[in-house]
């Protein structure tokens, strides 16, 4: 098969491209390069620069490369920005997906994998979040991901398209320094940035009903996430007409304080964190049940938190050599 990977020059996308090509699948990348980096792509992987809102460009790409499956990662993904610019997020994430699905069905593409998010759950009050946990997103970003799932599933029912919606939990790590996340929007790079500046990491809320009072999250290594995409692609190929909705996580909770301790141990920077008031909308605990993904895909995460942090740190040092501890 030939897989079109939208957003394939991004942090997660480049890892998916790498995993797919290493598994023997042919990949074509479609990316507007607004945040993607072309140099992340393996040699020989075609790159088409374009927006998912451009129906004509999509149609020519699907036909010109003989695309038989799509992995759709291209999206705007910053929760705070989505609150400030909801119309922009709905246009890019929902309308962009609608246009893409329209062209996919016209082209007779057989399989479609959608990059969703744990943000669809909002603030679940459960120890483990299953795929049946009610979805109550609390940000426009989360809303667009849930609306995206509705679009994908409705298209599958109407056309027989094989589909999977993968709900990512907190992604970290890198397969190689050159593929590391260059954004500073998640806890690992945010702590790296503070330590590089000689400033203490910040903890927002230390009075949650958790063992150490800080928020607990499920972290997944980006390499494991990419491998899950390969397993999903193979599952859809093997069972035409299949529809899946799966959590992609480790099923293990790690608190903010524990993450900072791990980061200190890996980096050698040991500034104690400073405590700040809770941020609005932060649930105390969001940890995945990943049992369905294991059952449906014969997949399970292999890397632990230390693997994520150490690989991310190597990527950070590549761009910020001054951060090395003495």
- Residues classed as catalytic: 141
Cβ contact 150:173 at 8 Å: no
CB count within 10 Å of CB 39 equals 9
> Within its chain, how far is the Cα of 13 from the centroid?
8
- Written as six digits, the tokens of 285 are 């605990």
Three-class SS state of 185: coil
Residue whose token pair is 């994908």: 152
> Within its chain, how far is the Cα of 107 from the centroid?
26
Q: Rounded to an integer, what distance in angstroms lies between the CA atom of residue 148 and that of residue 114?
A: 8
Cα–Cα distances in angstroms (integers) from residue 187 to residues 40, 192, 204, 215, 290, in the given order = 23, 8, 11, 12, 22
Q: Rounded to an integer, what distance in angstroms lies between the CA atom of residue 196 and that of residue 201?
A: 10
Q: Rounded to an integer, what distance in angstroms lies between the CA atom of residue 27 and that of residue 24?
A: 9
Cβ contact 34:76 at 8 Å: no
Residue whose token pair is 């500034």: 271
Cβ contact 164:113 at 8 Å: yes
């Amino acid at each position: 098969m030939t897989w079109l990977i939208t957003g394939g020059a991004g942090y997660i996308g480049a890892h998916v491209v790498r995993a797919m090509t290493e598994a023997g699948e042919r990949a074509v990348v479609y990316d507007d390069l607004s945040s993607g980096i072309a140099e992340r792509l393996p040699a020989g992987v075609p790159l088409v620069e374009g927006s998912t809102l451009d129906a004509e460009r999509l149609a020519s790409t699907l036909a010109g490369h003989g695309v038989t499956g799509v992995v759709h990662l291209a999206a705007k993904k910053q929760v705070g920005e989505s609150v400030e610019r909801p119309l922009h997020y709905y246009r890019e994430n929902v309308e962009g997906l609608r246009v893409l699905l329209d062209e996919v069905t016209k082209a007779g593409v057989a399989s479609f994998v959608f990059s969703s998010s744990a943000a669809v759950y909002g603030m679940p009050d459960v120890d483990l979040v299953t795929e049946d946990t009610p979805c109550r997103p609390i940000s426009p970003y989360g809303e667009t991901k849930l609306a995206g799932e509705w679009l994908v599933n409705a298209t599958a029912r109407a056309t027989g398209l094989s589909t999977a919606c993968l709900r990512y939990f907190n992604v970290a790590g890198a397969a190689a320094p050159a593929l590391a996340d260059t954004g500073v929007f998640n806890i690992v790079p945010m702590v790296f940035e503070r330590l590089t500046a000689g400033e203490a990491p910040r903890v927002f809320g230390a009075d949650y009903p958790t063992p150490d009072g800080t928020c607990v999250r499920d972290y997944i290594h980006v390499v494991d996430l990419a491998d899950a995409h390969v397993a999903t692609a193979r599952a859809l190929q093997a069972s035409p007409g299949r529809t899946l909705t799966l959590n992609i996580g480790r099923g293990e909770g790690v608190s903010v304080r524990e993450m900072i301790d791990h980061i200190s141990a890996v980096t050698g920077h040991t500034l104690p964190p400073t405590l700040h008031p809770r941020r609005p909308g932060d649930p105390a605990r969001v940890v995945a049940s990943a049992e369905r993904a294991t059952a449906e895909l014969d997949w399970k995460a292999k890397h632990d938190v230390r693997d994520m942090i150490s690989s991310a740190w190597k990527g950070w040092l590549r761009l910020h050599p001054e951060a090395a501890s003495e």
